[in-house]
Amino acid sequence: MSDSKSEKPPSESQLDADPFDSPQDKKLVWKVDLRLIPILTLLYLLSFLDRILGLTTDLHVSAPQYNTALALYFVAYVLFEVPANRFNPRIWLPTLTLIWGIASICQGLVKNQAGLFGIRFFLGVTEAGLFPGVIYLFSVYYRRHERSWRVAIFFGGAALAGAFGGILAFAIGKMEGVGGRRGWQWIFILEGVLTVAVSILAYFVVPTWSHQATFLTETERARLLARLAADSDAARQEKFEWFFVWQAFTDHLVWAYALLFHGFAFVLYSLSLFLPTIIAGLGFSSWQAQLLTVPPNALASLSIWGTVWVSSRYNARAPFIIGSAFVAIIGYIILITGPTAGAQYVGVHFAAAGVYTGNALLLSWPGENVSAQTKRAVAVALQITVGDIGAIAGWIFLTLPRSILYIQTQYLACLFTGRTHIIAIGYLLFAAAVATYLWVWMARENKRRDLLVANDGKGRDLDAGEEDRVQQERLGDRSVFYRYVI
């Protein structure tokens, strides 16, 4: 564990005098960025493209059956996230990508309801380990204040997937009848083939843990580990203990991070996966709706990167998460009350920018604030698991067995501009309340610990007695010397 100063998030003045922020360090971090961020962002972009369900009525499924197919993906996603966060990323992440690419191809070949149910569940199983695995991998390569910006770039892949997905769906959909297959089948087949090809490349690019990173020289690896050791527990080779798992499951902050994502997740998935439907409900034709998904998704990417950059500069998360929630709420209010389709389309942009930005910020928060390593791994996976339970709720509002790529009915126009938007506002208000709770509690706890250290040279923390290095490691973020990023 680091010394007392190392656990405090650095202020801007401290960063100016940071011994680990030299030109050589910046060059090292840039080298790590080039190795991690492009390939991992591409994998996440592909996962978002491959998970979209765009099946037409030629499968002869009823409305409840269609809802079940939609929900099965997230049921599997929720069940398999926590167990999937401690495997070697160099093998684990490319293998997941390869398998879900094959699953995506199979989505374009299904012939009946049973095949649809099975492949959707299997797709959820294979994609479950990607997001928590990548977030945890970031935590063992970057210092605490460096992580949020990288997570934002990575999560921007989801918004870019929405932009590219609209264009791809429009273009590939023109292959209707080619080879005797429907347009929606070709979308899945070609996206799956692309995913399989990228997974092969990923085996040669995705790195392993930082202390074994072969893409760095011995000198660079030693410097990287020194940077991490001076900042947090990321450089320590921690043995697995159930004690740390128990710490995660009994920490109210860990559950608060999970509930925060739960509040945003319903809105994220209902917006990202049904955006063509929402836009079609404004009166645009199906092909126009596909192309009109590009601007709000592109704006969301820019909003993510701009807001998270500012957040990193000020080393603050909570106020920007809350602000993003209210930007999205404004968007949904415009969607509900806008007098024209053009005005409502403006609301779509506000909603997309707020929802995506809030998610990018909150998903990096546990990685910055949870210690030790095993506890952090569980906390990150638990956040995604509980959050995606909110995504399952989104499917109850889709009641017709039609393609989200082609659907355009007055019923769904009323459905999406009414009930779902109002419920989305409720979820966002809940998320803002949880973020406020985290903000207030952690700010008060940081002040309490400052006073303990100031009044007692060694401090007392949670009845732990005198803290030596081993005790600090076991206390993790509960240590009196630890400071939360708020």
Mean pLDDT value across residues 400-420: 44
Q: Per-residue pLDDT for 450 more than 60? A: yes
Is pLDDT larger for residue 285 or for residue 407? Answer: 285
- Identify the band that residue 149 occupies on the pLDDT scale cut at 50, 70 and 90: confident
Mean pLDDT value across residues 198-218: 91
- Identify the band that residue 232 occupies on the pLDDT scale cut at 50, 70 and 90: low
Is pLDDT larger for residue 68 or for residue 362? Answer: 362
pLDDT of residue 7: 47
Q: What share of the chain in percent tops pLDDT 90? A: 30
pLDDT of residue 286: 63
The model's pLDDT over 325-361, given as tens digits with 9 standing for 90+, comes to: 999 999 999 988 888 888 889 999 999 999 999 999 9
Q: Any idea where the domains of the chain sit in the sequence? A: 33-212+243-478
Highest mean pLDDT among 125-129, 289-293, 366-370: 366-370
pLDDT of residue 357: 94
Q: Write down the pTM of the prediction.
A: 0.77
Q: Per-residue pLDDT for 180 more than 90? A: no
Report the CATH number of the 33-212+243-478 domain. Answer: 1.20.1250.20
pLDDT of residue 17: 57
Is pLDDT larger for residue 307 or for residue 120? Answer: 307
Q: Per-residue pLDDT for 115 more than 90? A: no
Q: Per-residue pLDDT for 109 more than 70? A: yes
pLDDT of residue 352: 93
Mean pLDDT value across residues 410-434: 74
Highest mean pLDDT among 241-255, 284-298, 470-484: 241-255
Is pLDDT larger for residue 238 or for residue 45? Answer: 45
Q: Per-residue pLDDT for 85 more than 70? A: no
Q: Per-residue pLDDT for 81 more than 50? A: yes
The model's pLDDT over 27-55, given as tens digits with 9 standing for 90+, comes to: 999 999 999 999 998 898 888 776 655 54
Q: Tell me the one-letter amino acid at 298.
A: A
- Identify the band that residue 299 occupies on the pLDDT scale cut at 50, 70 and 90: very high
